[in-house]
Copies of this chain bind each other. A is one copy, B any other.
Amino acid sequence: MPKRTGLDAFFAPDSVAVVGATPNELKGGHSIIANMLESFAGPVYPVNPGRDEILGVKCYPSVRELAGKVDMAIVFVPAASVPEVLEDCAAAGVKAAVLESGGFAEVGEEGKRIDAACREIADRTGLRLWGPNCTGLVNTDPFIFTPFMRAPNAHERLKPGTLGIIAQSGMLAAGFMLQYVISGYFTVSKACAIGNKIDVNEVEVLQYMAADPKTRAVVAYLESIVDGPAFLEVTREMAGRKPLVVLKGGRYEESAKAALSHTASLAGSDEVVDGALRQAGVIRVDDFQELMNLGKAFSIHPEPFRLSSPTGDGVAVITVTGGGGVVLTDLLRSSGLQVPALERRTLDALRRDVFPDWMAPSNPVDIWPAIEQNGLTAFGDSIKAVLADDRVDGVILLPFASRILDFFPFEDIGEAVRASGKPVVSWMFGDSRYFDTLEERMREFRIPVYNDLHSCVLVLKSYLNFSRQARSKSD
């Protein structure tokens, strides 16, 4: 049996064939070839027996015609034709094939036979297979973009980042995450939709990302885990070093059954899965939105933070709305975080430099009266004082988006945050015309911004959780 090669031929091929390329703009095979011709640095070969050229590029009837010229093939043809295409690939020396077509094991007996045929070819020839029933992968450096959705100038729009994304599941959940990538919600190193896992599975992709110096954090949507022990081994190794966030569907009998019918894979008992994931240091979430929000957070700041308190769970709130401080304190406490009394020196500093005489500072730090009296510098001064407090491991800011942002002491905030090495997260509320300004300025200081308090709490909790893992590993 041939030696199986690693995943480099997927993430950094020198040359690519697109099997099923077509000039019909309504078809996925067109999007793939158009995206690849536009964005891939090396040679791209369209393959389609019915065409001489596509988009001005010579088209080949079969991969066999390209013997020795192709590292990776992207395959988007009906399932029944896939085994023959794979034989052609193996014969032509192709190392890796991304199968984006559906119609395999998830659609019944005929699909299962095709599935088995592909598996046999992979085993016999050493050709590595990705998919099927997926959108493939995106790598931002070197640039490769395989999905069958058209993304004009993807290589210019998708700036290299440090986040790795893994999505099992059908094409749409993966497409959803892709939209976040394309919309700039975060920047990524690699985004992978792994589909039915005939060959490459979530464990191997996670191992690759764990070792990849360009990937500093990973978020993953999974429906099943094929090799539990191997998966837990890599997650344990990552704990405290690279943040890993997992949305694992199928917690209940009904949903586990749905997962089974939909990607032809077995979901394990959730109690066992959940305990194992938590023990292995994985941050587990329940909703796509949460996964994306933590993706943004760890894309902005993948490193562990400095913890100053022994428990590493003390949070201070700095707010322009007393009501927001009250509700946020409830959410922090019910999520298991603490809202500690501030140190005497912090309170003294706030009393002396920030607060009006009639008002005693406490945590949450309600600074609206101070702003009314002393202007917006109160915001910067409070953050500085609070971040220096040894009972405070992280801070949540509740500023008000409005024209006052034009006079906001962003530089002071940034300096205080950088100097402290502590995590800071911001809520975004008020006048939505100022949201972009708030988000962009905060991002300069690596402060992620969310428009609901639940997300602020989840993100800060995850930052602290990961930082505690790092601290206990280094002990």
Cβ 8 A contact of A170, one of B249, B322, B430: B322
The reply on A362 being an interface residue by CB < 8 A is: yes
Shortest Cβ distance from A167 into B: residue:
B323
Complex contacts, A330 vs chain B, CB 8 Å? 249-252, 255, 286
Contacts of A369 in B (CB 8 A): 107
Which B residues lie within 8 Å of A368 (CB)? 170, 172
In the complex, per-residue mask of A446-461: 1 if CB is within 8 Å of any chain B CB, else 0: 0000011110000000
Contact B258–A326 (Cβ < 8 Å): yes
Q: Quick check: B221 and A331 within 8 Å, CB to CB? A: no
A311 interfacial by beta-carbon distance below 8 Å: no
Are B262 and A323 interface neighbours, CB within 8 A?
A: yes
When distances are taken between beta carbons in the complex, the residues of chain B under 8 Å from A339 are: 252, 254-255
Interface 1/0 per residue, A404-436 and B, CB below 8 Å: 000000000000000000000000011110000
Asked if residues B431 and A173 are in contact (CB atoms below 8 Å), the reply is: no
Given A249-B323, A453-B287, A183 and B258 contact (CB-CB distance below 8 Å): no
Q: How far is the CA of A263 from the CA of B259 in the complex (A)?
A: 50
Contact string against B for A residues 298-330, beta-carbon threshold 8 Å, 1 for contact and 0 otherwise: 000000000000000000000011111111011
Query: In angstroms, how far is the closest chain B Cβ from the Cβ of A191?
Result: 15
Interface residues of A (CB under 8 A from B): 102, 107-111, 167-170, 172-173, 175-176, 179, 183, 221, 223, 247, 249-252, 254-255, 257-259, 261-263, 286-290, 320-327, 329-331, 333-334, 339, 356, 358-360, 362-364, 366, 368-369, 372, 400, 429-432, 451-454
The 13 sampled A-B contact pairs (Cβ below 8 Å) are: A172-B321, A172-B324, A173-B321, A183-B432, A247-B327, A252-B330, A258-B325, A258-B364, A259-B322, A262-B366, A286-B334, A289-B451, A290-B452
Since A172-B320, A250-B326, A290-B452 are in contact, a sample of 11 more A-B pairs with Cβ atoms closer than 8 Å, ordered by chain A residue number, is A107-B359, A108-B359, A169-B321, A170-B368, A172-B323, A175-B430, A179-B431, A251-B334, A255-B333, A288-B327, A290-B454
